[in-house]
A = this chain, B = another copy of it.
């Protein structure tokens, strides 16, 4: 063994999630089944590629302005990054520098634990209750910060704003991050609380409701002071992260409010119909408000069912981890994709 091996960072070997190509029904990574706004295609078609020889605007000005306009906040209240993963990671690095543990749910987005480990941030996971609900009181204790998704993943459960506010109000001494990747399919955003609480950051993404997972765009909305802190940290070690195409495509995606509302509406409609179909087949599931459903069947083993679906080129997500061994997460695809899945399930279950 070489001596330099000792200095190489040890990490859990990770296998990237399945990204099958070809003719498959892909309901495993919560992508949007509808294409992005037409303006995105037009922006790429007409792009002046001579611009690419120059560094992109580090302030991402055009995109920040468009988002500020859309959400009716000031430009100095918006921070953008390379997907909400980048934005959240930057929030951990910027705001979670306490010796006290940060709090997040035990069943939640798996990267919270990863970033806490990466930045050596102590953390405590708060168990969801037996209905997989977040218990606000669990987040009252002394801590170094709080983060949770709303709706939560992979449960899909949405907490009404008064419960979210309760957690924020009980934590005035630390930063509270509400990760709203799926909120457009759910209900009211905590954005409306930003003027009221100086410790609140809301993070959203272009990967779900805006059909742009492939462009990697996420953003945070907060008060100007916290946004400045994020930008200061970002600029201090990597100024140019958002590439030129992300900026122009992002602007076009935000501009097309009609397309955004229409696709969100279709997905919600398909989700509610899918719940009825799942119920008819005897599935048990949480009342998801996201673009996926977290479901189990009392008579069928989740892993076996997952494998059987995969053989039919229908990909859903299965973890097999503690408390969720019998659950699968099914992304809401188009009505046609869901129909294909249901006809397979009916055949499989002889119904």
Question: Which residue of chain B has its CB nearest to the CB of A32?
Answer: B53
* Interface assignment of A111: CB less than 8 Å from any CB of chain B: yes
Q: In the complex, what distance in Å separates the CA atom of A85 from the CA atom of B236?
A: 12
Chain B residue nearest in CB terms to A11: B236
**What residues on B are CB-neighbors of A98 within 8 Å?**
6-7
Query: Quick check: is A107 within 8 A (CB to CB) of the other chain?
Result: no
> A214 to B54, alpha carbons, bound, how many Å?
5
A223-237 CB contacts (< 8 Å) to partner B? 229, 232-233, 235-237
Give the secondary structure class of A's interface.
Answer: loop
Interface string of A323-340 (1 = CB under 8 A from B): 000000000000000000
CA distance A11 to B238 in the complex (A): 13
B-side contacts of A211, CB under 8 Å: 52-53
Contact mask for chain A residues 158-173; partner B; CB cutoff 8 A; 1 contact, 0 none: 0000000000000011
Find A4's partner among B111, B173, B235, B243 (CB 8 Å cutoff).
B173
Contacts of A262 in B (CB 8 A): none
Count of identical protomers in the assembly: 2
Given contacts A212-B53, A215-B243, A89 and B237 within 8 Å (CB-CB): yes
Q: For chain A, which range describes its interface: under 10, 10 to 19, 20 to 34, or 35 or more residues? A: 35 or more
Q: Assess whether A9 is in contact with B97, with CB atoms less than 8 Å apart.
A: yes
Contact of A7 among B26, B144, B216 (CB under 8 A): B144
Which stretch in A244-252, A277-285, A302-310, A341-349 binds the other chain? A244-252
Given contacts A31-B54, A55-B29, A237-B89, contact A7 B44 (CB under 8 A): no
Specify which of B7, B17, B111 is in contact with A145 (CB 8 Å cutoff): B7
Please, could you name 11 A-B residue pairs with CB atoms under 8 Å apart, sorted by A? A7-B96, A8-B94, A11-B232, A11-B233, A16-B239, A44-B47, A55-B207, A89-B237, A89-B238, A215-B243, A216-B240
